[in-house]
Amino acid sequence: MNSVWRETAEPFHFHPLKENKNTDVLIIGGGIAGILCAYKLKNVGVDCILLEATEICGGITQNTTAKITVGHGLIYDKMIRRFGEDQARLYAQAQIKACEEYAALCQEIDCDYETKDSYVYSLHDREKIEKELIALNRIGVKAVFSDTEELPFETAGAICIEHQAQFHPLKFLYAIAKDLPIFENTKVLALKPKKAMTDYGEIGYKKLIIATHFPILNKHGGYFLKLYQHRSYVLALKSAQNLNGMYVDESDKGLSFRNYRDFLLLGGGAHRTGKKGGCWQELEMFAKKHYENAEFVFRWATQDCLTLDDIPYIGPYASSVPDMYVATGFNKWGMTNAMAAANILCDLVREKKNPHASVFSPSRTVLRPQLAVNIFESVAGLLTPTKPRCPHLGCALKYNRAEHSWDCPCHGSRFTENGKLIDNPATDDKKI
């Protein structure tokens, strides 16, 4: 069940760590956020090292739909009401800057970069679309109301933001990673003050960036309550429909669409990890109804960290651990948020002010309705009297029949049927 990206890119590999080393900045996690952090730090002359427990881009990064856009669902109207117009504008500006940086970098990299208009549609609620349009215009993002004639069903309308983009994420990342100080198959076993312990050596550091999708340190920052995880599914269809734009439903459980070469990438079937959802079956039923002659060529699933308020946590990990930083909770919009994270963290580790950092601060309030849901799920998982249990914090695992895995409904860790770790925050395999 490899993604179309994994099947159409030539991977670039790095040796494991084989000796003790020292560095100014240690980055843990070889996904898009960690690689972009290393790339930016190296380019400004900062000594850094990136450690990846398996292979770079081997986790969530390889399973994205790779849309580069400011249009992150219908979040800007909510953001203005929660945080004010200035903070919403800063968030949008961070995304716009990220889009511009991708456009510049991709001029020199063969990664199938294409300019596309981005659409966020609603099936039934035109008022939501109109409110979001007002919000976007207030903060300086040019957006217009649009119909969705390309889609095979009627909608209440969509927001269109022009001149956004899509690309091949692995071709892009392998190209920028090849000259970086990366060590693959080097798992961090323990963190001591200013030192990371691995199977093959120790790395002394001055500052630490944790970019492991879900943060790996439980006792600092409360991320196991501030984050929850969603799974979603993608089918790559051949002989389906060519689209001129990228589309996403404003509902978390809706569908997304984009093309790659002669494939239509149909996404959806989302659900909280460890819960039931539509999975690929939902997508297959939709495709058979609307694209009768289509062939199912690739299928894959992904997992996203969601925050309490739709904004990622980027910045100092916690007040109790100085010189430690985090990038997590990209809320299904990992391409631009990863670039924003790299920009912010590159400044913060050099003790420079960043104009967007305040928006993403991990220390902002947790008093949001989603917190109660996360606490309930954690308590329910802990009290469920079944086995096997998750080694992360002891919640009962649920069997995922669609993917033949054991999933944790509390925090989103996943394991194969034999107990091998698939997705964090757990850091070890589980005896099943």
| % of the chain at pLDDT higher than 90 | 87
432 residue type, one letter: I
Last residue of a domain, one of 360, 377, 392: 360
Residue 314 in this model has a pLDDT that exceeds 90 = yes
Establish if 192 belongs to a structural domain. yes
Window from 20-34, 95-109, 351-365, 415-429 with minimum mean pLDDT: 415-429
Establish if 135 belongs to a structural domain. no
Measured CA distances, 401 to 279, 398, 430 (Å): 10, 9, 18
**Does residue 10 sit in the same domain as residue 58?**
yes
Give residue 417's pLDDT. Answer: 87
HEC readout, 140-180: CCCCEEECCCCCCCCCCEEEEEEEEEECCHHHHHHHHHCCC
Establish if 236 belongs to a structural domain. no
Residue 56: give its domain's CATH number.
3.50.50.60
pTM of the model: 0.95
Residue 431 in this model has a pLDDT that exceeds 80 = no
Give residue 250's pLDDT. Answer: 96
Give residue 393's pLDDT. Answer: 87
What range defines the domain where residue 354 resides?
4-64+170-225+310-360
φ, ψ dihedrals at 195, nearest 5°: -150, 135
**Does residue 221 sit in the same domain as residue 316?**
yes
Establish if 380 belongs to a structural domain. yes
Residue 316 in this model has a pLDDT that exceeds 80 = yes
Establish if 418 belongs to a structural domain. yes
pLDDT band at 129 (very low <50, low <70, confident <90, very high): very high
**Does residue 380 sit in the same domain as residue 351?**
no
Residue 276 in this model has a pLDDT that exceeds 90 = no
- Residues 96-120: tens digit of each pLDDT: 999 999 999 999 999 999 999 999 9
Asked if residues 407 and 273 have their Cβ atoms less than 8 Å apart, the reply is yes
pLDDT band at 401 (very low <50, low <70, confident <90, very high): confident
Let me know how long the chain is: 432
Residue 417: give its domain's CATH number.
2.102.10.10
Strand, coil or helix: 212: coil
**Does residue 355 sit in the same domain as residue 376?**
no
Q: First-to-last CA distance in the chain?
A: 23
User: Quick one: which H or E segment has residue 398?
Assistant: strand 398-400
Place of tokens 């004010």: 84
- Residues 214-256: tens digit of each pLDDT: 998 888 999 999 999 999 999 999 999 889 999 999 998 899 9
Give the whole-angstrom CA distance, residue 223 versus residue 318. Answer: 10
Report the pLDDT averaged over residues 364-377.
94
Establish if 343 belongs to a structural domain. yes
Residue 432 in this model has a pLDDT that exceeds 80 = no
Give residue 30's pLDDT. Answer: 97
Closest CA to 411 of 394, 428, 399, 431: 394
User: What is the overall mean pLDDT for the chain?
Assistant: 95
Per DSSP bridges, beta strands 67-68 and 114-122 are unpaired
Number of domains in the chain: 2
Strand, coil or helix: 215: coil
**Does residue 317 sit in the same domain as residue 216?**
yes
Asked if residues 7 and 187 have their Cβ atoms less than 8 Å apart, the reply is no
**Does residue 373 sit in the same domain as residue 350?**
no
Give residue 44's pLDDT. Answer: 97
| % of the chain at pLDDT higher than 70 | 100
Measured CA distances, 89 to 26, 80, 95 (Å): 31, 9, 10
Establish if 122 belongs to a structural domain. no
Establish if 129 belongs to a structural domain. no
**Does residue 58 sit in the same domain as residue 11?**
yes
